[in-house]
Amino acid sequence: MKHAFFSSFFQKGIAVLTSSILVFTAFFPFYVAQAASITDAADIMSRLAVNQASDHEIEFTTPTGVASGQAITLTFPSDFDGSNDPDGALDFSDVDFLIDTVPDGVCDGTAQTLVASGASTSQWNAVFSSTENRVLTLTSGGASATVAAGAEVCIEIGENATGGSANSQYINPSSATTYSIGVAAGASDSGNISVTILSDDQVSVSATVAQSITFTISDSTIGFGSLSSSAARYATGDTSGGSSEVEAHTLTVGTNASNGYTLSLNGTTLTSGGDTIEAIGSTNTTSSVGTEQFGIRATASGGIGTVSAPYASTGFAFDSAAFPDEVATATGATTDTTYSMRYIANISSNTEAGSYSSTLTYLASANF
């Protein structure tokens, strides 16, 4: 009996409750908040090493968007420090905020105007709070400061924001592990971004460049042709000689040795058996037609190499007494210097007939 009573009462109660719910929901439909996760979230940091100041480029797509008056909140985990950068504590001026209605994974879009407080309807308040400024809140100032559903948000914090190197940055935690940055956007979207802090994020690269010296001679056979007591002859590369001064060949020297180099000359004057054409001598001397002379001179171009005395002036010299004689030198490391070499030969009317030739050797070496 008792059981029947309770059973009937229970059934009636269920029926009343069910019909009440049906009636209520018909007149007052439920609006259930759809909590959604942010998507394509990432934080690109400029440095990952412990205790290093780093820029953050935080990107994510908010499925629901951020309505007028709502906020985006970034919560950095314990040990990130936004208060003790040498450039000062983080504030709104160290942040850039961009909205891209077409997500593309790139930090671009419409730049939003951030203010410290009192945002107008088109601005956002950007406020750092909590211990060591670990929470950044971007609050919409009104109807013109919103994020559309499905838009991509990019928040830059540090020297990557407008202001550059004068901006403050977050200092990374002191422990090398993975950290989670909390993101909340608008009324319902949220998520986390993981970043891994390393004990060392840089690789040392070392290399050694050995010292070297390069020496080039453009032509090893030059010639005067037939010498004359009535006109000076100048050596040419085609060995036929000429009556006016001309470059016979070039020598090129370059080195990365810190002390530079010296180019020296060794050899003999024009010789035919036991007969010689006299070397012009140790001082720079001009051509004297009808007098036996054999000499050289040089001009330099490129690098820091210079022609040494007595070969540098407009006259000629051949200081065989000082051989191997210094022709050119550079006092430090230098790119290639090209020396334009000129040779002169004069004979007198008494010069013995014969086939005269000379062998010269140029020596290039570093200085000590």
Partner 1 sequence: MKRRLIILLGFVLASISAPFFAFALTVSPARLEISGDPGQTITGEIALFDESAGESSQKNYYVSFENFEPRGDSGAPYFIGAKDGLATWLRSTDSVLVSSSEEVKVPFSIVIPSSAKPGGYFAAVFFGTQPPTGSGGQVSVGGKVGVLILLRVNGEIEEGGGLVSFTTKNNLRVVSTPPIIVEYRLSNTGGDRVVPRGTVSLLNTFRFKTEEVNANKNEGSVLPGSARRYEVYLGDERQLDDTGNPVKLGFFESVKVQLKDFKFGWYTAKLDITWGESAQNAKESYHFFVIPWQALSILLLGFFLFGKGFKMILKRYNAWVLSQAGIYNQQNSSQKKIEKQEKKQTVSSTISSHSIKDISKPTTQKPLQKPKRRI
Q: Which of 119, 157, 280, 307 binds partner 1 (CB under 8 A)?
A: 307
Shortest distance (Å) from residue 165 CB to partner 1: 26
Is residue 358 part of the contact set for partner 1 (CB under 8 A)?
A: yes
Determine, following the binding rule CB under 8 A, whether residue 329 of this chain makes contact with partner 1.
yes
213 interacts with partner 1 by CB under 8 A:
yes
Find the binder of partner 1 among 75, 182, 332, 340 (CB under 8 A).
Answer: 332
214 binds partner 1 (CB under 8 A): yes
Tell me: does residue 363 bind partner 1 (CB under 8 A): yes
Pick the closer one to partner 1 by CB: 96 or 325: 325
Site string for partner 1, 223-252 (x = CB under 8 A): xxxxx-------x---x-x------xx-x-
Segment holding 82, helix H or strand E? none
Distance CA 181, CA 193 (A): 5
Q: Is 54 near partner 1 (CB under 8 A)?
A: no
CB 11 within 8 A of CB 33: no
Alpha-carbon distance of 154 to 358, in angstroms, equals 78
> Does 365 contact partner 1 by CB under 8 A?
yes
Token couple for 98: 């961009």
357 lines the binding site for partner 1 (CB under 8 A)? yes
Q: 28: Cβ–Cβ under 8 A, 6 or more apart, which residues?
A: none
User: CB of residue 288 vs partner 1: minimum separation in angstroms?
Assistant: 19
Give the DSSP per-residue string, 120-171: -TTEEEEEEESGGG-EEEEEE-STTS-B-TTEEEEEEESTTSTTGGGS--EE
> Could you say which residues in the range 191-210 bind partner 1, by CB under 8 A?
210
Cβ nearer to partner 1, comparing 54 with 358? 358
- How far is Cα 188 from Cα 147, in angstroms, rounded to an integer? 13
**Cα distance between residue 40 and residue 19, in whole Å:** 45
Neighbours of 175 (CB within 10 A): 12
Among 259, 282, 320, 348, binds partner 1 (CB under 8 A): 259
Nearest to 360 by CA among 270, 235, 300, 246: 270
Closer Cβ to partner 1, 66 or 364, answer by number? 364
What single DSSP character describes residue 14? H
Q: Are 301 and 338 in contact (CB under 8 A)?
A: yes
* Beta-sheet pairing, 325-330 with 71-75: unpaired
Among 220, 230, 244, 350, binds partner 1 (CB under 8 A): 220
Which residue's CB is nearer to partner 1, number 349 or number 359? 359
Question: Which of 80, 261, 316, 339 is in the footprint of partner 1 by CB under 8 A?
Answer: 261
- If binding means CB under 8 A, how many residues of this protein chain bind partner 1? 62
x/- string (CB under 8 A) for partner 1, residues 264-303? x-----x-x-------------------------------
Q: Is the dihedral of CA 345, 350, 351, 353 positive or negative?
A: positive
DSSP 313: S
Q: Which residues bind partner 1 (CB under 8 A)?
A: 210-227, 235, 239, 241, 248-249, 251, 255-262, 264, 270, 272, 304, 306-307, 309, 312-313, 324, 326, 329, 331-332, 343, 354-368
